[in-house]
């Protein structure tokens, strides 16, 4: 009966999988397999930024922004200013590195989970931008919040049956690409989040956790006035040189 239960479960995972929903990858994520493969494929010196899981919510060809722009595009959440530098292991800034950034809104939904009446997706809380001549980047977005992964299918039932919750701690996704360096796919996590020790997809690395500083209502770095608290996140990334020269 255990064998049959396992076959039935995998059959259900197959039945709910289509071109929009990939329950097999979600199963791999929630069993820790995706993170294991990510770790095995991203061995690098300890001073380089660690990789973590890709997740299903990346969109290729997201809108391109300039440094200083607001990538939230109307997504709901507390204002958050993000800045940092992309460097090589030698400490030198990497100019013209492409950053893809994506995140959920304050209700825990990515733009691709919210379609308008025509089934179209308006890109919110995601974008692409390039580092400047010294490798610096900065943009405005919203504060990332913890959210549950899709758990209305067999993976959700597996989690419930094994006494696990479906939550991911608050995080901001990055994919960083520059010629001559390995592509870095990672997140930055918010210190203090209640799910840091029990991320449902095992994606947290202590080096990726940082303080997202809360500021009282007032004037933000770009001169905007906020009547609500706003946040700043400052995080630098170190890329590993690729074996194949640029």
Taking CB under 6 A as the criterion, the residue among 27, 53, 129, 238 binding ligand BEZ is 53
Provide the sign of the torsion angle of the four alpha carbons 229, 203, 124, 83, taken in this order: positive
The nearer residue to Fe ion, 197 or 216, going by C-beta atoms, is: 197
The nearer residue to ligand BEZ, 29 or 145, going by C-beta atoms, is: 29
Residue 121 corresponds to which tokens in the numbers above? 């997706």
The nearer residue to ligand BEZ, 87 or 126, going by C-beta atoms, is: 126
Quote the CA–CA distance of 136 and 143 in Å, as a whole number. 20
What number of other Cβ atoms are within 10 A of residue 87's Cβ? Answer: 22
Residue 154: contacted member of ligand BEZ, Fe ion, none (CB under 5 to 8 Å, by partner type): none
Residue 46 corresponds to which tokens in the numbers above? 């300890």
Shortest reach from residue 57's CB to Fe ion, in Å: 6
Q: What x-and-dash track marks residues 143-162 binding ligand BEZ by CB under 6 A?
A: ------x-------------
Residues contacting ligand BEZ: total by CB under 6 A: 9
Taking CB under 6 A as the criterion, the residue among 13, 23, 27, 29 binding ligand BEZ is 29
Does 24 interact with ligand BEZ (rule: CB under 6 A)? no
16 three-state secondary structure: helix
Q: Are 121 and 113 spatial neighbours (Cβ–Cβ below 8 Å)?
A: no
Name which of residues 17 to 56 contact Fe ion (CB under 5 A). 55
Q: What x-and-dash track marks residues 65-104 binding ligand BEZ by CB under 6 A?
A: ----------------------------------------
Quote the CA–CA distance of 22 and 54 in Å, as a whole number. 13
Quote the CA–CA distance of 47 and 38 in Å, as a whole number. 17
Taking CB under 6 A as the criterion, the residue among 24, 57, 98, 235 binding ligand BEZ is 57
The separation between CA 213 and the C-alpha centre of its own chain, rounded to angstroms, equals 19
Q: Are 188 and 219 spatial neighbours (Cβ–Cβ below 8 Å)?
A: no
The nearer residue to Fe ion, 185 or 239, going by C-beta atoms, is: 185
Residue 184 corresponds to which tokens in the numbers above? 């870095």
Residue 77: contacted member of ligand BEZ, Fe ion, none (CB under 5 to 8 Å, by partner type): none
203: buried, middle or exposed (CB in 10 Å: 19+, 13-18, 0-12)? buried
Taking CB under 6 A as the criterion, the residue among 55, 79, 127, 166 binding ligand BEZ is 55
The four Cα atoms 195, 198, 200, 202 give a dihedral, to 10 degrees, of 110
Taking CB under 6 A as the criterion, the residue among 31, 33, 56, 123 binding ligand BEZ is 56
Binding site for ligand BEZ (CB under 6 A): 26, 29, 53, 55-57, 149, 168, 201
Binding site for Fe ion (CB under 5 A): 55
């Amino acid at each position: 009966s255990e064998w049959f239960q396992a076959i039935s479960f995998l059959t259900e995972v197959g039945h709910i999988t289509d071109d929009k929903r990939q329950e097999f990858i979600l199963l791999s994520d929630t069993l820790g397999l995706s993170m294991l493969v990510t770790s095995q494929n991203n061995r690098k010196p300890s001073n380089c930024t660690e990789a973590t899981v890709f997740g299903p919510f990346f969109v290729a060809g997201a809108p391109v922004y300039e440094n200083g722009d607001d990538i939230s595009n109307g997504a709901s959440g507390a204002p958050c200013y993000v800045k940092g530098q992309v460097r090589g292991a030698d400490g030198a800034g990497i100019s013209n590195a492409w950053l893809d950034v994506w995140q959920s809104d304050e209700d825990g939904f990515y733009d691709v989970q919210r379609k308008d009446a025509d089934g179209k997706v308006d890109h919110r809380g995601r974008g692409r931008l390039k580092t400047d001549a010294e490798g610096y980047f900065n943009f405005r977005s919203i504060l990332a919040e913890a959210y549950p992964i899709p758990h209305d299918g067999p993976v959700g039932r597996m989690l419930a049956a094994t006494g696990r919750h479906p939550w991911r701690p608050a995080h901001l996704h990055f994919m960083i690409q520059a010629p001559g360096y390995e592509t870095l796919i990672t997140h930055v996590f918010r210190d203090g989040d209640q799910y840091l020790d029990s991320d449902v997809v095992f994606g947290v690395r202590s080096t990726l956790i940082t303080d997202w500083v809360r500021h009282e209502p007032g004037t933000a770095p770009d001169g905007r006035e906020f009547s609500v608290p706003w946040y700043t996140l400052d995080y630098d990334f170190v890329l590993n040189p690729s074996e194949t020269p640029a």
